[in-house]
Structure 1
């Protein structure tokens, strides 16, 4: 009897230990995935140009590196978020920041705080191409807010620099007629592209952040205008899908035609628009939620999400792509319980294999999804 009692006590202790172990594994596994993903991304895509400068290689070839302002913006954000978890040091962030500062754009002989959109090695010489790209500038500015929180000893410097970047975005990349950001400082008032909007530049959480810093009411105008345009585009098709690019007026928006900007998929849900779920993920504005919910319901009814769609639902490809799945995972993770939770499970495939070292875009969006989407 006494022996039996001790046996039950022992079994109870073993059960408690087993249960505690399972809970610990379940809690630690996301953290392990996050750290492993960040470390692999950093090792594969961040290149030290000098002792004090580093850039994100977007070419998928370390022998022929290419830096883009978009990639640098992503890299700065990722590094600041990793720093918050103790996996990156401030010097890692500062090296990326120094590269951006050394490659700022120039308009009419005036050097501003936007980043020149592309640098590459040509015949052994590092060259920089003029003009900015708004998506990169938005992420660069947003990263500075994160850096100020993670490394408070230099918060004043980061906030001042963020204010300068934000001011130049409004000065060079804003069209008050359409209430929207343009696609870059090259899309000026005398250009036909002045009315062009990149749907993945609709970043309401960033706009709120920039308004809180500057109290410049134009950020509220930008947020309202661009969300209005995105909602208009969403309503035009049962799928809720939006195009990579759209022509916008003050109260109008329509998809561009093929090859209007960058290629045949300019008017489809393709390599730019795939980021829209990620950009809306943390926004509680009813317009953002309407766009996101409609889009997620479309994806939730697919057998699997493929790499791009026409706005009427026709697949552009028959294969899956992490750069399409990662933003969806992030969005669903931030909005659980809204009727499309099956996507949370189905899009986990992006973490079922080691992070690719040969596709910058897939790897970077997956890293963002890991750091910000695993909650």
Structure 2
């Protein structure tokens, strides 16, 4: 039997639905994210570029990818378009990958690029942001642009070593043919992005193998009594080491690894135990030297603390406690804060 509704009731439902679409029925977590993004935008985004305030005002592909992702989540299409336009015009190479760093200079254009190499985390983040933007705003051009980046990554950055598929940190400088070893950065395996990319790639199997290799390496790459993974890892036939790498620490790169795992719903308990024990200290150092075991003399940043809170919230259902972004927050900490909130939002919590 068909149910009849009064005209006033139908009109009320339509108004409520329209209001929800405009954002009034959003969750408290989403409202907090949107508010925090406004602070992030005011502090770090200038005319389409994300400024790394903790690193002499440079911009890099990582930051552009973060800014684009945050814009999509906050439903800020105008800011997204500005960020993507600057990124495409200033950082994108002819092969569709991105120069990794822009150092402000008088010309304010591509001539400010000081290194022709790319950074695969930035490439991956930008492609993921474009895919999410295509879904959010129905713009298929974004999806096609993402696919071009993904194809370029497949051609230049997915590297086979024995039976593993690895993600080169950049196109140049990370494969040592003399020792048959490869240097990688496990925080560049942004697992939720890899899963998203695999769905639109013509080579989904390669991305799934990349995902699996990343998880396995995180489980194996455990250094010192704390059993933490390094920022930079050398993979060779004789095993894993931090020898002759960019740095020999667990720190500002590797701190993202557990967030990427939890974000993708990778819920093996042993995956998080070492991180959780590290965070349980009365005062947790920001970094740890993985050769001599010496911790930093300063504690985790607000961004690192946000990661710890988000991961334990997702893995162990602990309360979520994340500091607000303020003028005292630098670019990287603010980015970690929004990434942590975004991971929780994506999990539907």
> Do both share a fold (TM > 0.5)?
yes
Q: How big is the shift at 1:34?
A: 2.1
Cα distance in structure 2, aligned partners of 1:167 and 1:213:
10
Quote the residue 1:101 is aligned against: 88
Cα distance in structure 2, aligned partners of 1:37 and 1:250:
46
Quote the residue 2:287 is aligned against: 308
Cα distance in structure 2, aligned partners of 1:204 and 1:232:
17
Quote the residue 1:34 is aligned against: 33
Quote the residue 1:74 is aligned against: 66
Q: How big is the shift at 1:31?
A: 4.3
Quote the residue 1:321 is aligned against: 301
What aligned pairs does 1:73-92 form with structure 2 within 5 A after superposition? Answer: 73-83=65-75, 88=76, 90-92=77-79
Contact kept? 2:251, 2:286, Cα under 8 Å: yes
The residue matched to 1:103 in structure 2 has which SS? helix
The yes-or-no answer on 1:284 pairing with 2:265 is yes
Quote the residue 2:243 is aligned against: 256
Contact kept? 2:263, 2:344, Cα under 8 Å: no
Q: How big is the shift at 1:182?
A: 0.8
The residue matched to 1:180 in structure 2 has which SS? strand
Cα distance in structure 1, aligned partners of 2:237 and 2:152:
22
Q: How big is the shift at 1:123?
A: 4.3
The TM-score with structure 1 as length reference comes to 0.75
Quote the residue 2:221 is aligned against: 233
**Which of 124, 134, 144 is 1:160 aligned to?**
144
**Which of 277, 298, 301 is 2:278 aligned to?**
298
What aligned pairs does 1:130-169 form with structure 2 within 5 A after superposition? Answer: 130-152=116-138, 154=139, 156-169=140-153
The yes-or-no answer on 1:363 pairing with 2:334 is yes
Cα distance in structure 1, aligned partners of 2:175 and 2:322:
44
Q: How big is the shift at 1:151?
A: 0.3
Cα distance in structure 2, aligned partners of 1:325 and 1:113:
35
Cα distance in structure 2, aligned partners of 1:316 and 1:226:
27
Q: How big is the shift at 1:296?
A: 1.6
Cα distance in structure 1, aligned partners of 2:237 and 2:130:
31
Cα distance in structure 1, aligned partners of 2:238 and 2:326:
42
Structure of larger gyration radius: 1
Contact kept? 1:41, 1:357, Cα under 8 Å: no
Aligned residues: 313
Contact kept? 1:309, 1:316, Cα under 8 Å: yes
Q: In 2 relative to 1, CA 201–194 (structure 1 residues): closer, same or farther, beyond 3 Å?
A: farther
Q: Which is further off, 123-132 or 68-77?
A: 123-132
Moved over 6 A (4+): 190-194
The residue matched to 2:69 in structure 1 has which SS? helix
Cα distance in structure 2, aligned partners of 1:176 and 1:243:
21
The residue matched to 1:239 in structure 2 has which SS? coil
CA RMSD of aligned residues (A): 2.7
The residue matched to 1:240 in structure 2 has which SS? coil
**Which of 32, 51, 55 is 2:49 aligned to?**
55
Q: In 2 relative to 1, CA 30–292 (structure 1 residues): closer, same or farther, beyond 3 Å?
A: same
Q: Extract unaligned runs of 5+ from structure 1.
A: 1-26, 49-53
Q: How big is the shift at 1:314?
A: 4.6
Q: Extract unaligned runs of 5+ from structure 2.
A: 1-25
**Which of 326, 350, 365 is 2:323 aligned to?**
350
Q: How big is the shift at 1:372?
A: 3.2
The residue matched to 2:98 in structure 1 has which SS? strand
The yes-or-no answer on 1:175 pairing with 2:159 is yes
Q: How big is the shift at 1:172?
A: 1.4
The yes-or-no answer on 1:118 pairing with 2:101 is yes
Contact kept? 1:356, 1:363, Cα under 8 Å: no
